[in-house]
Amino acid sequence: MNIKAVIAANRFGLGARTGELDVVDHDPQRWLLDQLQGPSRLSADLRRLPDTASVLVEVGELRRERRDQRQSSDDEPAPDIVKKYGRTVREHYIEQTQARYRNAASTDFPFHERLVHFWANHFAISADKQPIPAIAGLFENEAIRPNITGRFADLLIAVEQHPAMIVYLDNQRSIGPGSTLGRRANRRRDRNVGLNENLAREILELHTLGVAGGYTQEDVTTFAKVITGWSIGGANDNGRFADGEPGEFEFREIIHEPGTHEVVGRRYSQAGVKQGEAVLHDLATHPSTARFIAAKLARHFVADDPPARLVDELAGTFLETGGDLGAVYAALVTADEPWVNTYAKYKTPHDLVISTFRAFDHVPDDRRFVVGALDLMGQTPYRPGSPEGWPDTAEQWGGADALYKRVEWCNTVARVVGSRANPVELGAAVLGPALQSSTRKAVSRAESTVQGMTLLLASPDFQRR
Amino acid sequence: MVTRRDILRTAGAGALVSALPGVAFARANTDARLVLVVLRGAADGLAVAAPYGDGNYRRVRGELALPSPGQEDGVLKLDGMFGLHPSLAAVYDEYQNDRALIVHAIASPYRDRSHFDGQDVLENGAAAVGLLRDGWLNRALAPLGGALGNEAAIAMAQNTPLVLRGDNSVTSWAPSQLPDADDSTIQRLQDLYADDEFFATRLAQALKSQEIAADQGGMDRMRNRGNDAEQARTMMQATARFLTADDGPRIAVVEAGGWDTHANQGGAAGALANRLAGLDGGLAALRDGLGPAWSSTVVVVVTEFGRTVHVNGTRGTDHGTATAAILLGGAVNGGRVVADWPGLGKADLYAGRDLMPTTDTRSLFKSVLAEHLDIPDSFIDSTVFPDSAAARPIRDLIRI
């Protein structure tokens, strides 16, 4: 078997399932690129999920109910409504998380799925802010999943106009000082009205140009003005608005800053929502964006310190094709660099959990198992803690205690599901020719199946990809 | 029966004996404890220590302005100019005992407004982003002589933050909810890892931390549960146990998030007040846990940058520049505010919007390293904070 099959299945994919290496071995690069063809596929688990608008409406009603009770009694809110809110949000979160990891554990398109996770992390929202836990998985399926093989501009606009991103980075609260509502409020000297730069800053810093990509504080402020009015339909928390389709993206002219604006060296005279979209189109094909995305992809798929030649090539492809992501992936897969080292990356806990479940072809029924495991290992699903997303290097995941937690978890998994397979056979099935003789020896000499399985899962071979 | 400790001795034998540069080991103050608390998300220095005596304070802070000392929910009086946020009661106790001080209008050399780059500069100790790939506190460890299995410093987190990453061996620890793997499995894993330095080193460090945690009685079963304030207290109690263990580390780094108050920041009560109360409870737990060792302890509380002087459109504050740092502990020469106060008038602000920085964060760090840990100035200037001549140590921050 060609070692390329192992790299394709374990580094580009999500970890081999039993029998997968034989399929991949026919033509590893073809196997990867074929996954990007055809219509977007949704597993039954994902198809069953509700849409963001309906969840936002449901959760919004509970929030208002909670607030109304608080105001009427001028007291602590009634505990049952607080509990109901928490339970509702948690139910959605667990359901979406479970669907995500079940799908990842069973998909026949693991490279496509890894790219979905990659982009969801690039455009990270974090469940430590309400009501993100109730919609984070939906954001991934609605804004990211359908758009990862087309043009980066389309992905970018879908993301920035998704209600989850708008609410996560406060844009529905940002009010243009020269807008109809802003001017009215300023006359009343209402201090609670003005710009919020959060979304504009993160688009420039984290989603497109990168922090050194050549923009200024002035650009951030102006861009924030350009996207004032990018909001969510229906009543907001303080009941200020009511128009628009509840829970859907809504452009609100009344808070939009009018006029021509200059952002990153270009003037934009469009009216309304078109102005922000025009800025996003230009940012999406900016050379700094090309480099930023190229380096991130190369870091994820090739090495923590990605080879400069490859980054140049990917950035070049990105620019020449106007940000055609399919062309960039093709350049990545057909380059030489990804195929040199078998174990180029230290798995994140997310990678480790998915590849373990794929190896066993089994996700435990306990709905909290996945969240519990990832929480313990420091990568709580959809909760990176900041819009920067999770880090992607061994240096940042390689804490001593973090390794110990992995060992504890591998041991726990081995106890729970380890008896489903023979560890020596499983090692050969998922690592193929990459299984080192020292690992094979240690696993085969183990005093029990559970111990053998623990050693296999905790081995450097399985902890890397 | 083979115990963890035996395994550790075997693994540690001959490893990393000492390949450190010729630095004066003997000078290092081995009793001294240092805890660095990194507040991630840019904590608002004007709320931590409010300049209630500045004539512009109430105007610029509007609805976020805190009441003056003596008023209801008023700030805790530090001097005629500054008052501590009312949530910081334990810090104030220490202040009144001259064991805490505030350094105000302080900032790292970073002048843009990205959290991630700001934290990078705060932690790498360089003049700019990415100039150094390791952390200043890791570089400072060389004269302290820690080695594998006997690390001088611990990160109270699963993964080591940048400030502690680098060539010198450090360890890390965080609470767990899973059962331990049995000793036989661990021993076999050590054998399996022997040829892979990345894994071998980390497992050895983790086992050492597990050993201290177990020696201290059941801490390895500590639950990572409860609300943020409870977790902060729990983490600080654990930190105290590591720092008081006989062969434990003497330096710890603790992180706390949730300071990015863009909306509904609140004043004497509210979101930021709750965060500060959690921090204060954690610091009190650390002090109580350290017991007699508190007298030789310095805690440094810093954040990557401050927040805008003016309130934004959503009752919060946006990313700014200078902020406040807290120094407390029995070894601190406290009871005062150290500040070259820039003022809050329109012309006084940095870029027309932020508190102007007048003290470099590195000046604070340098003083603590030199005066508290007895690390030689020459080593600090050449290795810990290269190219930092302009950031002169503050001096006299520590009781001699």
3-class SS string, chain A: CCHHHHHHHHHHCCCCCCCHHHHHHCCHHHHHHHCCCCCCCCCHHHHCCCCHHHHHHHHHHHHHHHHHHHHHHCCCCCHHHHHHHHHHHHHHHHHHHHHHHHHHHHCCCHHHHHHHHHHHHHCCCCCCCCCHHHCHHHHHHHHHHHHCCCEHHHHHHHHHCCHHHHHHCCHHHCCCCCCHHHHHHHHCCCCCCCCCCHHHHHHHHHHCCCCCCCCCHHHHHHHHHHCCCEEECCCCCCCCCCCCCCCCEEECHHHCCCCCEEECCEEECCCCHHHHHHHHHHHHCCHHHHHHHHHHHHHHHCCCCCCHHHHHHHHHHHHHCCCEHHHHHHHHHHCCHHHCCCCCCECCHHHHHHHHHHHHCCCCCCCCHHHHHHHHCCCCCCCCCCCCCCCCCHHHHCCHHHHHHHHHHHHHHHHHHHHHCCHHHHHHHHHHHHCCHHHHHHHHCCCCHHHHHHHHHHCHHHHEC
Q: Is the pLDDT of residue B332 over 90?
A: yes
Residue whose C-alpha is closest to residue A204's, from A261, A96, A272, A282: A282
Q: Which residues on B lie below 8 Å from A454 (Cβ)?
A: 181, 185, 189
Strands B297-303 and B49-50: unpaired
* Mean pLDDT to the nearest integer, B54-62: 96
Give per-residue pLDDT as tens, A339-372: 999 999 999 999 999 999 999 988 877 777 888 8
- Closest Cβ opposite residue B351 in set A201, A217, A460: A217
List the pLDDT tens digit at each of the 465 positions of chain A: 899 999 999 999 999 999 999 999 999 999 999 999 977 678 888 999 999 999 999 999 898 887 777 655 555 556 688 888 989 999 999 999 999 999 999 999 999 999 999 999 999 999 988 899 999 999 999 999 999 999 999 999 999 999 999 999 989 989 999 999 999 988 887 666 789 999 999 999 999 999 999 999 999 999 999 999 999 998 776 667 778 899 999 999 999 999 999 999 999 999 999 999 999 999 999 999 999 999 999 999 999 999 999 999 999 999 999 999 999 999 999 999 999 999 999 999 999 999 999 999 888 777 778 888 898 898 999 999 889 999 999 988 998 999 999 999 999 889 888 777 899 999 999 999 999 999 999 999 988 888 999 999 999 999 999
B163 in Cβ contact with B137 (< 8 Å): yes
**Which residue from A minimizes the CA distance to B194?**
A438
Name the DSSP class of B182.
P
Name the DSSP class of B326.
E
* Torsion angles phi and psi, residue B20, rounded to 5: -85, 155
Contact B113 A192 (CB under 8 A): no
A189 in Cβ contact with A146 (< 8 Å): no
Residue whose C-alpha is closest to residue A455's, from A433, A424, A417: A424
The C-alpha of B318 sits at a distance from chain A's nearest C-alpha, in angstroms, of: 8
Q: What is the ipTM of this complex?
A: 0.91
Average pLDDT value for chain B: 87
Contact B203 A394 (CB under 8 A): no
- Give the span between the Cα atoms of A329 and A318, in whole angstroms: 10
Query: What pLDDT, on a 0 to 100 scale, did the predictor assign at position A410?
Result: 95
Structure tokens at A61: 């009603």
B205 in Cβ contact with A400 (< 8 Å): yes
Provide the 3-class DSSP secondary structure of residue B183.
helix
pTM beyond 0.90: no
A183 in Cβ contact with A252 (< 8 Å): no
Contact B178 A194 (CB under 8 A): no
The C-alpha of A43 sits at a distance from chain B's nearest C-alpha, in angstroms, of: 32
Residue whose C-alpha is closest to residue B173's, from B121, B240, B226: B240
Query: What pLDDT, on a 0 to 100 scale, did the predictor assign at position B242?
Result: 92
Interface probe with A: pick from B63, B132, B133, B158, most Cβ of A within 10 Å: B158
Q: Is the pLDDT of residue B220 over 80?
A: no
- Closest Cβ opposite residue A460 in set B196, B313, B319: B196
Contact A455 B188 (CB under 8 A): yes
B163 in Cβ contact with B140 (< 8 Å): no
- Give the span between the Cα atoms of A374 and A388, in whole angstroms: 18
Structure tokens at B299: 């805690």
Give per-residue pLDDT as tens, B379-400: 999 999 999 999 999 989 999 7
- Give the span between the Cα atoms of A184 and A182, in whole angstroms: 5
**Which residue from A minimizes the CA distance to B191?**
A442
**DSSP codes of every residue in B278-313:** HHHHHHHHHHHHHGGGGGGEEEEEEES--BBSS--T
Name the DSSP class of B177.
-
Query: What pLDDT, on a 0 to 100 scale, did the predictor assign at position B147?
Result: 64
- Give the span between the Cα atoms of A261 and A270, in whole angstroms: 9
Question: Which residues, including other chains, have CB under 8 Å from residue A156's CB and lie 6 or more apart?
Answer: A207, A208, A280, A283, A284
* Torsion angles phi and psi, residue A262, rounded to 5: -110, 125
- Give the span between the Cα atoms of B312 and B34, in whole angstroms: 36
Q: Is the pLDDT of residue B204 over 80?
A: yes
Interface probe with B: pick from A401, A403, A413, A435, most Cβ of B within 10 Å: A401
Q: Which residues on B lie below 8 Å from A221 (Cβ)?
A: none
Torsion angle of the four alpha carbons B200, B206, B209, B213, in this order, in degrees rounded to the nearest 10 = -140
**Which residue from A minimizes the CA distance to B151?**
A400
Give per-residue pLDDT as tens, B22-51: 333 333 446 899 999 999 999 999 999 999
Structure tokens at A205: 């810093």
**Which residue from B minimizes the CA distance to A398?**
B159
Residue whose C-alpha is closest to residue A407's, from B176, B213, B234: B176
Q: Which residues on B lie below 8 Å from A459 (Cβ)?
A: 192
Provide the 3-class DSSP secondary structure of residue B5.
helix
Query: What pLDDT, on a 0 to 100 scale, did the predictor assign at position B216?
Result: 57
Torsion angle of the four alpha carbons B195, B197, B199, B204, in this order, in degrees rounded to the nearest 10 = 100
* N-term to C-term CA, chain A: 17
- Closest Cβ opposite residue A194 in set B165, B178, B312: B312
Provide the 3-class DSSP secondary structure of residue B232.
helix
The C-alpha of A446 sits at a distance from chain B's nearest C-alpha, in angstroms, of: 8
- Closest Cβ opposite residue B206 in set A401, A446, A455: A401
| Residues counted in chain B | 400
- Give the span between the Cα atoms of A427 and A454, in whole angstroms: 11
Contact A377 B172 (CB under 8 A): no
- Closest Cβ opposite residue A385 in set B178, B209, B257: B257
Residue whose C-alpha is closest to residue B220's, from A31, A401, A21: A401
Interface probe with A: pick from B188, B207, B305, most Cβ of A within 10 Å: B188
